[in-house]
């Protein structure tokens, strides 16, 4: 029996598959900080159980009989429900678009439902982590109401076309994020001008979903945003997003930098991992590296920022006041490797100022 000082996180599992309900329940039962208080095979049944059991978190399938998960999630959003939501969806390309809509409707975390290529065990290995992250994010939103994030005005003097970028410029921008990161990226990236050095992003994200996120961001930015592919040239004026289930790293070549994608073991329960991107940037670009660590639970990115700090680069981290979860930035601050803490709405300006300080 749990004897800790803090109450267990109460979870309701909603899925029309009995096998998935059983697996999620048994997996979460292994964590002493989590209690599964009930299950439901569709949202209509779940409505009554949410009212009676008052869970802190629900795990929610998207495709269910009588009412789909997205409709239920939008209904919860309209009712300003205090319950955090972890979506567990079949993330095909079509499913990824639904998952994006789910995030727009208030889902905190997205996980891929097991299929022929993904075992239930792979889901189980990270399920507790994401339930806790969703709970932490919802608690912060409830207790620290935030003003709407304003996008920074793009400074006209730095909006140079990418084609004018000097080939000798070896500066590199690397960004890491987790819980709340998709929304943070949607605020930050469109506020940046064209003509910057290459931007590489690791967002903790499932396979397939990363492509939908990149495509959505690409519609909002004045420069190209897309998923990275292995062994491609990293060019100025582009933003590359790590594909889900692949680590993204930087390697040098005769003309600049290239990508390296691997499926080596997860780091901090995550693949992609921010630490691997940041460490490779420190090794490859050294003092020409600018790293930004955004909202997220855990400590991924802190050791990578330590490597960048030792290499002479610049590290910016999101301020606690604007983070959905102040975990990853806090870990880097605790290591003493953050040069400046910046609220999200001020991050574009701070990024450009820091970039100007880097050697080319």
Alpha-carbon gap, residue 47 to 345, rounded angstroms: 37
Cβ atoms of 224 and 237 closer than 8 Å: yes
User: Which is nearest to 218 in space by CA: 200, 242, 235, 240?
Assistant: 240
Residue 158 Cα distances to 196, 197, 355, angstroms: 8, 12, 11
- The DSSP bridge pattern shows strands 340-342 and 314-318 to be parallel
In terms of C-beta density within 10 A (0-12 exposed, 13-18 middle, 19 or more buried), how is residue 264 classed? exposed
| Residues 6+ away with beta carbon under 8 Å from 341 | 316, 317, 318, 319, 320, 329, 333
Alpha-carbon gap, residue 234 to 256, rounded angstroms: 7
Q: Catalytic residues, which ones?
A: 178, 204, 300
CA within 13 Å, CB half, 50: 23
Which H, E and C letters describe 96-131, residue by residue?
Answer: HHHHHHHHHCCCCEEEECCECCECHHHHHHHHHHHH
- The DSSP bridge pattern shows strands 256-262 and 233-234 to be antiparallel
User: Which is nearest to 325 in space by CA: 201, 143, 100?
Assistant: 143
Alpha-carbon gap, residue 144 to 149, rounded angstroms: 14
CA within 13 Å, CB half, 312: 10
- The DSSP bridge pattern shows strands 199-203 and 238-241 to be parallel
Provide the H-helix boundaries in the chain. Answer: 18-29, 43-53, 69-78, 93-104, 120-143, 181-188, 209-218, 274-284, 302-311, 328-334, 347-357
Structure token pair of residue 31: 């964590």
């Amino acid at each position: 029996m749990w004897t800790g000082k803090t109450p267990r996180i109460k979870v309701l599992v909603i899925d029309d598959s009995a096998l998935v309900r059983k697996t999620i329940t048994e997996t979460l039962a292994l964590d002493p900080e989590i209690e599964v208080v009930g299950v439901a095979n569709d949202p209509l049944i779940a409505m009554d159980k949410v009212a009676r059991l008052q869970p802190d978190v629900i795990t929610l399938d998207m495709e269910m009989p009588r009412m789909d998960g997205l409709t239920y999630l939008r209904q919860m959003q309209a009712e300003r429900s205090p319950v955090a939501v972890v979506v567990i969806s079949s993330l095909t390309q079509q499913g990824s678009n639904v998952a994006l809509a789910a995030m727009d409707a208030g889902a905190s975390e997205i996980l891929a439902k097991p299929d022929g290529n993904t075992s239930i065990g792979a889901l189980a290995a990270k399920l507790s982590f994401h339930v806790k992250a969703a709970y932490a994010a919802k608690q912060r939103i409830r207790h620290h109401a935030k003003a709407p994030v304003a996008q920074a005005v793009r400074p006209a003097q730095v909006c140079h076309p990418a084609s004018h970028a000097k080939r000798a410029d070896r500066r590199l921008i690397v960004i890491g994020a987790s819980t709340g990161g998709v929304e943070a990226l949607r605020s930050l990236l469109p506020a940046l001008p064209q003509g910057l050095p290459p931007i590489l992003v690791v967002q903790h994200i499932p396979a397939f979903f990363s492509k939908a996120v990149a495509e959505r961001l690409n519609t909002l930015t004045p420069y190209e945003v897309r998923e990275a592919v292995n062994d491609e040239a990293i060019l100025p004026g582009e933003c590359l997003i790590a594909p889900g289930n692949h680590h993204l790293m930087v390697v040098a070549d005769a003309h600049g930098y290239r990508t390296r994608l691997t499926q080596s073991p997860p780091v901090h329960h995550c693949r992609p991992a921010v630490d691997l991107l940041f460490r490779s940037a420190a090794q490859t670009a050294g003092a020409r590296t600018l790293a930004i660590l955004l909202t997220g639970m855990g400590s991924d990115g802190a050791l990578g920022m330590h490597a960048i700090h030792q290499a002479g680069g610049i590290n910016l981290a999101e301020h606690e006041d604007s983070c959905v979860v102040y975990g990853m930035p806090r870990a880097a601050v605790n290591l003493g490797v953050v040069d400046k803490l910046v609220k999200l709405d001020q991050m574009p300006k701070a990024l450009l100022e820091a970039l100007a300080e880097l050697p080319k």
